[in-house]
Amino acid sequence: MKRHLLVFDDGDGADVDLKAFVDTLDDGGQIYTLEDHVCFVNSGLPASEISDRFLKYAGSRLFFVTEITSSPWAGRMPGSFWDYFKKPALSNAAE
């Protein structure tokens, strides 16, 4: 699994069905959402494929997806964020 950052704007104001979006990801795909427009997505899919799958739910929204590689990070966030973020990304069985 890889960790990605997904950021999107308000678009037309309608809610994004993030549950349905996550259901389109590979087995084990997960999401952690901050403030409704910033999400961390765990998936074995490349960023381009996550983008293609999110496009169906984005409506008129602008958005981007990027893989978060191993790099230093710090900040002040709720405990549930750190619980999610500190979990090591699981390797694919084929690796």
The per-residue pLDDT for range 16-48, each reduced to its tens digit, is: 899 999 999 999 899 998 877 899 999 999 999
Give the global pTM: 0.76
- Residue 61: which of 12, 5, 4 has the closest Cα? 12
Cβ partners under 8 Å of residue 20, min gap 6: 57
| Model pLDDT, residue 79 | 85
Per residue in 69-90, pLDDT tens? 866 777 887 888 888 777 765 5
Q: Is-contact 23 54, C-beta < 8 A?
A: no
Structurally, at CATH architecture level, domain 2-83 sits in 2-Layer Sandwich (3.30)
Q: How far is CA 57 from CA 8, 25, 52, in A?
A: 11, 13, 10
Helix residue spans in 32-78 (DSSP H): 47-58
| Model pLDDT, residue 90 | 52
| Model pLDDT, residue 85 | 72
> Predicted confidence band at 92 (pLDDT cuts at 50, 70, 90)?
very low
Domain boundaries in the chain? 2-83
